[in-house]
Structure 1
Amino acid sequence: MTALLVLEDGRIFRGEAYGATGTGLGEAVFTTGMTGYQETLTDPSYHRQIVVQTAPQIGNTGWNDEDDESAGIQVAGYVVRDPSRSPSNWRATGSLGDALVAQGIVGVSGVDTRALVRHLRERGAMRAGVFSGDDLAADADLVERVRQSPPMEGADLYGAVTTREPYVVAAQGTARFRVAALDVGIKANTPRMLAARGIETHVLPASTTIEEIEALNPDGFFLSNGPGDPATADGPVELTQQVLERRIPLFGICFGNQILGRALGRDTFKLRYGHRGINIPVIEHATGRVAITSQNHGFAVAGEAGERFDTPFGPGRITHTCPNDGCVEGLELVDAPAFSVQYHPEAAAGPHDAADLFDRFAELMSGGGRHRLAGGGS
């Protein structure tokens, strides 16, 4: 069955139906990860995006019941070159194609993804649609349908992926700290990484108030990753400012980095094609250390390497940048317990170079926590 990837600039890539048949509308982006397609597909940060895999062979290890990063597949569509005919892995419980069908995700295979990625590299991420079925409309009509779909700029998406009810992920062993984690698209491996460090994580809806945070009496506050334009996240930004006023130790990643940036008075902007993959270098300016990181973001905080700036909460500084394009990859407050990074230290999927950031968060809480579970006081 024929399937099409239709871009808003009129370019059309033809292939075969893969996964469910129908229509998927979103933003066409590419990810350079050679592995970890299940984690990519279930990452809430990819909500309403049509993901193009640069790796040519996808689906070799099938689908399993353990590696999902959320309750289901989050992407709006999926584009691959050469899908596996049959999975081969002892952990597999089914095939990738079957998972796409079961969850209604429209895909296209057999596409020249090299040509597609070159096109997106030149023109930038853009609105797109994946269409499959026996009776497709004319090409011009499909292009117009794509152009009528909403752009990613101005997209308020975190509310669509946040948890509806609070839940708790217990610490492994003795609980040392309690963390309030604002879920604006959190990945399942993040609370697991915190739990491994003796941290009890209370995952909270994006609509949580400062009074509800204070009622938990947390040692720290975590801002998760998530989808959409950070310029729309006024509620989480205001909550972050209230947390900073109370000097609760704060750690943010990805969308959380952008929320903290806005809370500190920084602007955010849309990148031409974003950073998506598990092989992206980041420089930490204080040490000169380069980490290879997992990333998925289409927006960034404005700033330059090593820049110091004034905020309502004291001086701040840009701590990390990407050597590829100078994009801000981290910031912190100089005299207050708050820092964030633009990449994914939870490494799902991805390298483990940045896992020590969770240890830094624990150290920050040990020096400035408001309530220490292990110690019975502040």
Structure 2
Amino acid sequence: MDILILAVVIALVAVGAISGLVVSSRKKKQLPPTAPSSTPTITAPPAEPQVGEDAAPTVEEPRRTIEEVGLPDAEAALASPAAVEDPVVEAPPAPAIEVPEPTAGRLVRLRARLARSQNSLGKGLLTLLSREHLDEDTWEEIEETLLVADVGVVPTQELVDRLRERVKVLGTRTPADLRALLKEELLTLLGTDFDRAVKTESGEDTPGVIMVVGVNGTGKTTTTGKLARVLVADGRSVVLGAADTFRAAAADQLQTWGDRVGARTVRGPEGGDPASIAYDAVKEGIAEGADVVLIDTAGRLHTKTGLMDELGKVKRVVEKHGPLDEILLVLDATTGQNGLTQARVFAEVVDITGIVLTKLDGTAKGGIVVAVQRELGVPVKLIGLGEGPDDLAPFEPEAFVDALIGD
């Protein structure tokens, strides 16, 4: 019996020891390390729903009886439900097609504007020629006036020599006589036998193709858009080719000009191949049966050989459809003799057929018309006289000289 009691006591002691070891090991279990600088975050246990006596009291809301609820009448309930239509979003209105100003006599109508900036040349010459005694000093002043107006050295010398001879023969010089004399000599200098019409007929079953070239900053893209207006005003249908892919806004600008007169613009990705776009423009013009395709090329410095070679490539690719009818060089009239250098280099790369002089209203150097014609042997066909959309005018020598010498 004693042995049995002793065994039970030993068993109880063993169980107690084992329990102590388990509890001790649980207390010594380490928590995961935390950042030394961080503050331990205590997360509260989720709130238990309140039930029974702990539940919040129910808030009584006012209720309506069935008599107080408005119900639809029988007819309305049985009627077919009305369909709710989606709001109709109107398409943006198409841009209004403008009617360009007729080109016939446009330069005459712009004569007053031209005269304001050019008459210093004509009035200066008339004042000098009206002197009682035309000595050597006076003739030198006449020569200087012509040179300042960018007439050029050789044309100036020719004009002075003819004026000397004509004045000597004329004898008495009335203002009317001098004006008539000066007008005649200036017209001779400008040349009245040039064909100044912009050619728009290829003579084949293809549109007339006109390529517009020039250096940066001469207003080439704007001139192309204005030329489209000139052609539309003369009853021609036009397709524009935006082959200026180097300037991001060039294609958008040209398309805006085209949209205003109903001319479609063929364009490509920015930085694309200009020759490919020019080719596609002519292809589209043929498909549409257009009268004229106008190709705007990228402005380029005349001193950059690579860019000038690329211009020659555009010309060769376009000529796969047929010969180019016009290659118009856009020159800034304010650049004077520097414009002649540009013209000379462009003429070596492509066969220039005509000149467009821009910004002629802002300079008294109207003699550049004479100089550039003499330099290239090709006529000035169009002149820009302002910022207005219809301020590009066909060049008319008589109207131009009338504006030079005034009334």
The TM-score, its normalising length taken from structure 1, stands at 0.26
RCO higher in 1 or 2 (8 Å CA, sep ≥ 6)? 2
**TM-score, normalised on structure 2?**
0.24
Bigger-Rg structure (1/2): 2
